């Protein structure tokens, strides 16, 4: 029993960005089950209220804040309010993210910047706001949601791959700079997961759908629930000497060279 206590999140405050639905919601729900108080954000009041109701339907009292993670001033104000109203954050999950699937030669620099802004600059901005509280508290866990595109490229996702590759290195750098304060910063790298973000890829008859299933040794798309055990591990005392690591939860994609031709 005592070893299982290392995996408990009892008494911890977890801030999961962009967690009204999808992977963020799945992780936050599991954190609540493991004992944590859940804080999340979304970009407007209506979406936050909707998110709160979704948590309520699962029997979870979550605290929602209106905040665009790319707006540094708003992020600083939100983290200050969370610390005042709920307490110092123990666990930060930089989950909010977007993708734009556009061939590089057709992509406007403005679109490229937008993806970098949400997927890379925002984890920097939010971590920067949260780390001082963690230093004061004497511990902290930061989990950056990376991707297969932290390691691999493919057609149309140049901005996303650049951002997620950068996020892997931001993870290692935060670990390097703040490990001495008992802060662990790790990445969680999902494979291809069934969420609204990947919905356009999973439509009936879309060859990308069967391509992903063939490329995944587990032979299926992942679900947000597949990520919850690893996400709890990285947020809990059980991972206190794991720092700067990216834990890929991909059904084996990165291990696999691909199916040999028939």
| Interaction site with ligand GCO (CB under 6 A) | 99, 101, 147-149, 154, 157, 160, 190-192, 197-198, 201
Q: Is 65 a catalytic site residue?
A: no
Residues 6+ away with beta carbon under 8 Å from 159: 100, 107, 111, 112, 114, 115, 116
Residue 132: CB minimum distance to ligand GCO, A: 30
Element (H, E) at 162: helix 158-178
- Our finding on whether 198 is near ligand NAP (CB under 6 A) is yes
CA distance 175 to 181: 10
Residue 170: CB minimum distance to ligand GCO, A: 16
Contact (Cβ atoms closer than 8 angstroms) between residue 207 and residue 213: no
Write the interaction track for ligand NAP spanning residues 59-88; mark x where CB under 6 A is met and - where it is not: ---------xxx------------------
Contact (Cβ atoms closer than 8 angstroms) between residue 35 and residue 8: yes
Residue 250: CB minimum distance to ligand NAP, A: 9
Choose among ligand NAP, ligand GCO, none what residue 154 binds, the Cβ cut-off being 5 to 8 Å by kind.
Answer: ligand GCO
First vs last Cα of the chain: how many Å apart? 50
CA distance 225 to 126: 25
Write the interaction track for ligand NAP spanning residues 120-159; mark x where CB under 6 A is met and - where it is not: -------------------------x-x------------
∠ Cα 81 86 91 (to 5°)? 95
Write the interaction track for ligand NAP spanning residues 158-197; mark x where CB under 6 A is met and - where it is not: --------------------------------x-xx-xxx
Q: Which residue reads 């493991």 in tokens?
A: 34
Binding residue for ligand NAP, selected from 13, 48, 63, 95, defined by CB under 6 A: 95
> For residue 70, what are its two tokens?
């790319």
Nearer to ligand GCO, 25 or 192 (CB): 192
Catalytic residue among 31, 55, 65, 160: 160
CA distance 185 to 235: 10
> For residue 121, what are its two tokens?
């600059």
Residue 56: CB minimum distance to ligand GCO, A: 28
Axis crossing angle, helix 22-33 with helix 228-235, rounded to the nearest 10: 60
Residues within the interface to ligand NAP (CB under 6 A):
17-18, 20-24, 41-43, 47, 68-70, 95-98, 118, 145, 147, 190, 192-193, 195-198
Residues tagged active-site: 160
């Amino acid at each position: 029993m005592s070893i299982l206590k290392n995996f408990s999140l009892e008494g911890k405050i977890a801030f999961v960005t962009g967690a009204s639905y999808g992977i963020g919601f799945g992780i936050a729900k599991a954190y609540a089950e493991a004992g944590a108080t859940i804080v999340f954000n979304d970009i407007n009041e209506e979406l936050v209220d909707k998110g709160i109701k979704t948590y309520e339907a699962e029997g979870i009292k979550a605290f929602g804040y209106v905040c665009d993670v790319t707006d540094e001033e708003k992020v600083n104000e939100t983290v200050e309010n969370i610390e005042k109203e709920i307490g110092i954050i123990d666990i930060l999950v930089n989950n909010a993210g977007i993708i734009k699937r556009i061939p590089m030669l057709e992509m406007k620099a403005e679109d490229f910047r937008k993806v970098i802004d949400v997927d890379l600059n925002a984890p920097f901005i939010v971590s920067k706001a949260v780390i001082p509280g963690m230093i004061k508290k004497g511990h902290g866990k930061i989990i950056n949601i990376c991707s297969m595109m932290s390691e691999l490229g493919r057609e149309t996702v140049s901005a996303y791959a650049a951002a997620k590759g950068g996020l892997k290195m931001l993870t290692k750098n935060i670990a390097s700079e703040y490990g001495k304060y008992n802060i662990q910063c790790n990445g969680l790298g999902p494979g291809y997961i069934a969420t609204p973000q990947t919905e356009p890829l999973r439509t009936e008859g879309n060859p990308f759908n069967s391509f992903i299933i063939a490329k995944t040794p587990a032979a299926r798309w992942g679900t947000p629930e597949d990520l919850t055990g690893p996400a709890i591990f990285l947020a809990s005392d059980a991972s206190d000497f794991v720092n700067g690591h990216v834990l890929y939860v991909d059904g084996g994609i990165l291990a696999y060279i691909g199916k040999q031709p028939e």
